[in-house]
Structure 1
Amino acid sequence: MLRPIRSGSAVLQCVRIARPALTAPVSSTATSSIPPAWRKKTTTSTSTATPAAKPNKVHNTGYKPIPTEDLASLDPQVAMPASAVVTDVEASLAASIPSPRPTRAAFTSAVTKGGNPDATPNGDGPGESAIDWSQSFHGLATVAFTPETAAVLMAPLDPEEVEIKPDGIIYLPEIKYRRILNQAFGPGGWGLAPRGELTVGEKVVTREFALIVNGRFIAQARGECLYFSEETIPTAGEGSKSNALLRCCKDLGIASELWDPRFIRTFKKKYAHEVWVEHVVNKKKRQIWTLKGVDPAYPYAIAKK
């Protein structure tokens, strides 16, 4: 039985008296007589239970092992066999490598044969259908034409094919430009691509075109043509196309003599002359240029002396 506590020193004495008795096994009846403040300490110190096993380090980090059979439900690629993963990686790498571009020799051969120089040997190149000719300059100055083609394009101009306007300007009819292009590249080997919409002015229409040869940009020019009423605008649009064609052909050397001042003077002196004509409607007289031995075109006629 414990003594009554009277002072602070008595507390220490009481503790020293009571602690040895707690080291011995305490029965349930004896424990019930221990004050509540002491009971927790007594129970802890006298516990003979086997200590719990040390927790696994994996569980201490907060991660739990996932069963192998549940991996497929998280990500199908996790359960993919190793061989399949390697095959998929190889396919991705192969798709990321661009197709080889043709060599310069292959490009020249394609141009010479009239093929598509941008196509690869496997036929998977972008081709002309993938090119926006309204603004592209694809193939510009890439490779020269063959000597045979150049000879056709830059052949000397036959004076018998040259015409002259009433104001003295000499020209080659646009159909003859087309014949030269067909002879050099073949029908279908060249074409005119619009580079903008038809612009309608007060009395003139204009439109820009690009000359494309064998899938290559060659030149561009703006053609123009006069019109006299709204009903003739479509016809004037075709005229602007022809005018742009002959301007583009200057870059190919076709009929280059027409812009040579010396050739112009020689031609007019030898093949043309000025004559007085009379307008068949208003009877006004004026002087115009015409080819020698050729009567003036309507609405003019040789003026009577």
Structure 2
Amino acid sequence: MLHTTSPTAYALFKDLPRKESRPLSQLTAEVQPPQEQSQTDTTTTISFHDGPIVADPVAPAPGQPINWSDSFHGLGVAPFPREVSDVLLAPLNEEDIEIKPDGLLYLPEIKYRRILNRAFGPGGWGLAPRTESFITPKQISREYALVCHGRLVSVARGEQDYFGGEEKVATALEGCKSNALMRCCKDLGIASELWDPTFIKSWKKKYCDEVFGEHVVNKKKKKLWKLKRNKALDYPYKLV
């Protein structure tokens, strides 16, 4: 839960009785802002409703389906077989790695799916939604669980830029799902090189150039990264 409070709100909090420990969410629900406030005195509370889920202590009966929207079944109970681990932890083909103009390295989403298919087999893994889709004026997000061979492996919230329009919502939802998949795969060790500072510096030196690009609309110039094999920058920039 994320809270942004003003000094006035803090004063209200500190005067609350402290006889028992209660979650902050309960305290904020009890605090009522004063009837009259100045224009500069504001209190904002934003809740993501992402507190830890209380797992059902009763294991599902044999043959009964597992509700993956709140279950942690199989999480951390045992390592996967060696042949599976070897596929998951295999070094990346450096030619598969891409770079964004801001210098962030990434592996195309389809590469993660291919690694999972090689490790667990098609149909041996899947993504289960844990929450409803959460839409803001500029973004859409949703939490997913990665399940492999009937075991929960990781939970992550995917996000995707979204600026409205019914014709684009399905595309944004799919992008959100793909983003969650990539984040879940980190817990399996897939593409761990992409978070290794030593590897990042070495890879950039070998495969990338830092160049000046000019925005074709506003004509602003800035330094951007590109692959050496690419002769031009992606729109809306051009080399200068």
> TM-score, structure 2 length as denominator?
0.71
Shift in Å at residue 125 of structure 1? 2.1
- Inter-partner Cα distance in structure 2 for 1:214 and 1:147: 15
Q: Indicate which of 209, 228, 231 corresponds to 1:273.
A: 209
- Inter-partner Cα distance in structure 2 for 1:242 and 1:147: 27
* Match in the other structure for 1:282: 218
Q: Indicate which of 134, 155, 159 corresponds to 1:220.
A: 155
* Match in the other structure for 2:236: 299
Say which is worse superposed, 273-282 or 193-202, in terms of deviation: 273-282
> TM-score, structure 1 length as denominator?
0.56
SS of residue matched to 1:156? coil
Higher normalized contact order (CA 8 Å, seq sep 6+, divided by chain length): 2
Percentage of identical aligned residues: 59
SS of residue matched to 2:225? strand
* Match in the other structure for 1:25: none
Q: Which runs of 5+ in 1 are unaligned?
A: 1-117
- Inter-partner Cα distance in structure 2 for 1:190 and 1:147: 17
- When you count strand as a share of all residues, which structure comes out higher? 2
> What is the number of equivalent residue pairs in this alignment?
180
Shift in Å at residue 276 of structure 1? 1.3
- When you count helix as a share of all residues, which structure comes out higher? 1
Shift in Å at residue 254 of structure 1? 0.4
- Inter-partner Cα distance in structure 2 for 1:286 and 1:275: 8
Q: Which runs of 5+ in 2 are unaligned?
A: 1-58
SS of residue matched to 2:157? strand
SS of residue matched to 1:125? coil
- Inter-partner Cα distance in structure 2 for 1:213 and 1:135: 16
* Match in the other structure for 1:183: 118
Shift in Å at residue 176 of structure 1? 0.2
* Match in the other structure for 1:83: none
- Inter-partner Cα distance in structure 2 for 1:126 and 1:201: 40
SS of residue matched to 2:211? strand
- Inter-partner Cα distance in structure 2 for 1:253 and 1:150: 9
Root mean square deviation of aligned Cα = 1.7
